[in-house]
Homo-oligomer: A and B are copies of this chain.
Amino acid sequence: MKTYIDCIPCFMNQALRAGRISTSDDIILKKIMDNVGGKLKDVSLTEVPPRSAMIIYDEIFRQTGIEDPYKKIKKESIDLAKSILGQIRNMVESAPDPLLAAVKAAIAGNIIDFGACEDFDIKKDVKASMDMDLSINDYEVFKEKINYARTVLYLGDNAGETVFDRLLIENIDARVVYAVREKPIINDAVIEDAVDSGLADICEIISSGSTAPATILEECNERFLGLYHGGADIIISKGQGNYESLSDSNENIFFLLKTKCSVIARDLDTETGALVLKAGKNYDL
């Protein structure tokens, strides 16, 4: 997906939000805003948004020297998610179609996002999402394909959301490789977060190699790319960042996300706040 002009004010909002996580010094904060503003001219509208967004996080690091400002927040999100995992698992197990319920739990967890979101309530929002219908619903083809898959490449997104991904992985009868970011960026999960979320005992956890809050293939490592380009039978891609970077993919990919901004909603031809399970264009539905 390309960067829309509407993404530009949003970059400034992200800069302020992420800047405030890293510093409470208004002089440094103003410097971050000034410098990100000055770099907007380097943002190309033909580039995917998460790559453009990197100017924000590089600038915040340059001004504050803090490498992982979301470390504490990530831990809190994981703990909060774990505290309701049992309830959500009960909802999944008692559902008429547990796989569908697990898909919804995994998408519901995508509400945890400190990049795109101003405000959310993990406990309340995840439970509320479980009662919603999928706005884009390619579940039937997903179900058919997942039943035949031997290897699934699962692209993780945010720390905390990772906890609910477990419920979907538990309902997949295949080898699952769970890929996370190479190093901390916003609240996106890295290997440590995936382990902390309890995923190590049910799947293999790898780094994709991408340092963006997305999956930028040019950055990805060989092992990841082997799985991405055919090594895995199916790819499950979680969240907006992965969608933004891979929406044009020709692989056997399914996008699971909650739409959190009007640009993504418009790109997907749905509304903001929608639960989405969308088959990649390879499926030609």
Contact = CB atoms under 8 A, between A and B. Distances in A.
In this complex, the member of A5, A9, A39, A41 whose beta carbon has the largest number of chain B beta carbons within 10 angstroms is A9
A5 B16 contact: yes
Given A34-B41, A38-B37, A40-B38, A9 B16 contact: yes
A30 B46 CA distance: 12
A64 interface: no
A33 B16 contact: no
Nearest to A34: B41
A220 interface: no
A73 interface: no
A10 B261 CA distance: 16
A39 B35 CA distance: 10
A9 B12 contact: yes
Interface in A1-47: 5-6, 8-9, 12-13, 15-16, 26, 29-30, 33-34, 36-41, 45
Contacts of A16: 5-6, 8-9
Copies of this chain assembled into the complex? 2
Interface residues of A, number: 20
Contacts of A13: 9
A50 B12 CA distance: 19
A34 B40 contact: yes
A15 to B, nearest CB: 8
Interface in A143-172: none
Contacts of A5: 16, 26, 29-30, 33
Interface in A72-128: none
Contacts of A38: 37-38, 40-41
Contact of A45 (B9, B15, B30, B39): B30
A37 B41 contact: yes
A157 B8 CA distance: 29
A29 B4 CA distance: 11
Interface string A44-55: 010000000000
Interface centre among A6, A8, A16, A39 (most CB of B within 10 A): A8
A122 B136 CA distance: 34
Shortest 9 CB-CB contacts between residues of A and residues of B: A37-B40, A37-B37, A9-B12, A34-B41, A9-B13, A12-B12, A8-B33, A38-B38, A34-B40
